[in-house]
Structure 1
Amino acid sequence: MREVDEELEVTEHLEELRKRIIWTLVVFILFLVGSFVFVEEIYEWLIRELDQKLVILGPSDILWVYFMISGICAIAMTIPFAAFQIYRYIKPALNLKEQKATLSYIPVLFLLFLVGISFGYFIVFPMVLSFMEGLSANHFQEMYTTEKYFRFMMQMTLPFGLLFELPVVILFLTTIGILNPTHLIKARKVAYFVLVVVAVSVTPPDFISDFLVTIPLLLLYEISISLAKMVYKKKQKKERPDLKSVS
């Protein structure tokens, strides 16, 4: 009887998870369609400072680029809804304080994604592109295809949008008791190695790009540790005021 109850509980959890995923996909598709309506205006804004016209090698290239631009916009706009669906799914397992804290992280998650995208687009992308153009100056005639230009732009922006959310994810895991600053400090070497691998994997194969992505990621991890210490100390004082907080 107990095994049957456990199977029913697992089935209910999976059904709830399926429902949350479906709703998230529906919202993503709606935002994708909405973004595609205005994709030409977005495209024109993204190439506003480019001195040359981009080249397409086939009729499918521009369609691929339009879908990529629309997809990134849809991802950005879906993040708050997806985070809320995750919150609704795990809400029964959280106490009232954890529910309030988790809910407050959702707008921050969205803002950090926008900050990360902006950092990649306005700072990293122009620096790396300028460096690349400097290498080819007086040696090659520059001619960018639309697909390669926007693929390069995506590699220099989207990873920052996702990885800038690292502090919020760590704060959330600290709030619900899965992580604490001691774990983060002990795992620093492993985390650094993983972040370097991620940075190298998501960037073009050149040292400058790897460096410009790796350094902010390492700084984000250290910021996450500092924020986790603050949350953990506050949590300790409320739960066990007789214990010394982690330094």
Structure 2
Amino acid sequence: MSEQKMTQDIEMNVTDHLSELRKRVIWTLVFFIAFFIAGFLYVEQIQAFFIKDLPFELNMTSPGEIIWIIFTIASLVAIIGTLPILSLQLWLFIKPALTPKERRVSLSYIPAIFLLFLGGLTFGYVVFVQLILPFLLSLNNGMFNEIYTVERYFRFLFRVTIPFAVLFEIPIIIMFLTSLGIVNPVFLVKVRKYAYFILIIIGTIISPPDFILQLVVAVPLIILYEVSIILSKVVYRKKLENHRAFMETDDENDTSV
């Protein structure tokens, strides 16, 4: 009878968790759709911002291009707007399993995730507009007639900016993995040269084949990795202090008994 009751309790717990997860997913989808609609309504203003300072005109080669750019911009707005909501829903889902201190610490990650994502997008856009695009335009030097299409321009723009937005999350990811015990500062320092190599490859992929531009792109990524090591040391130190305090409290309890 007890085994049957245990089985029923486990099934109820699984059902409760699935129900809670479904609720969190539904809330996230609701906000995603809402932000998508907002991006759809303001797509002309957003598109005008991206092309206002271009030294050339954009052309269309097919009606499908305008549909693609509308849905792409609306989706990007939805992703940016939903990111803090998604982070909050994940936090609410795992909240019951966290201690009060872990709740406070993990909750502070949510605005950091959002701000770093925006920072990465902004940095990528500035690098694209101020460095990459002028460099590519200078290569032609009047040799050929230039025809720039809407789809190809925005594809290239997003190819540069979105990776930066994702890579700027490295410090938060490292802090989270350190708090889980998956990585530690010693490991990060040990694999530093391999991390540099990977980041330089990423910078080479994102930027045009020019050493200066590749350096401009790669250096901020390397700085982000170094900042991640510093933050990992802070998290790891606090983790050790908490563990030491817990062990001392446990020893005192054993002694009193």
Contiguous gaps of at least 5 residues in structure 2: 248-257
Matched AA of 2:46: I
CA distance in 2, matches of 1:30, 1:242: 46
Counterpart of 1:58? Answer: 62
Give the CA deviation at 1:135: 1.0
Contact 2:113 2:172 in 1 (8 A): yes
TM-score, normalization by structure 2: 0.82
1:133 to 130, 137, 140: 137
Counterpart of 1:17? Answer: 21
Correspondence 1:121 to 2:114: no
State the superposition RMSD in angstroms.
2.7
Correspondence 1:224 to 2:190: no
Give the CA deviation at 1:28: 0.8
CA distance in 2, matches of 1:179, 1:91: 22
State the number of aligned residues: 242
Query: How high is the sequence identity, in percent, across the aligned residues?
Result: 45
Contact 2:132 2:207 in 1 (8 A): no
Counterpart of 2:73? Answer: 69
CA spacing shift, 1:225–1:150, aligned 2, 3 Å: same
Contiguous gaps of at least 5 residues in structure 1: none
Mapping of 1:196-215 within 5 angstroms? 203=206, 206=209, 212-215=216-219
Counterpart of 1:168? Answer: 172
CA distance in 2, matches of 1:232, 1:33: 42
CA distance in 2, matches of 1:29, 1:192: 38
Contact 1:98 1:175 in 2 (8 A): no
> Once the two structures are superposed, what CA deviation does each residue of 1:158-178 show, in whole Å capped at 9, x if it has no partner?
111121011112112323444
CA distance in 2, matches of 1:119, 1:148: 21
Give the CA deviation at 1:217: 2.5
CA spacing shift, 1:57–1:93, aligned 2, 3 Å: same
CA spacing shift, 1:123–1:75, aligned 2, 3 Å: same
Matched AA of 1:160: F
Which aligned segments of 4 or more residues in structure 1 are displaced greater than 6 angstroms? none
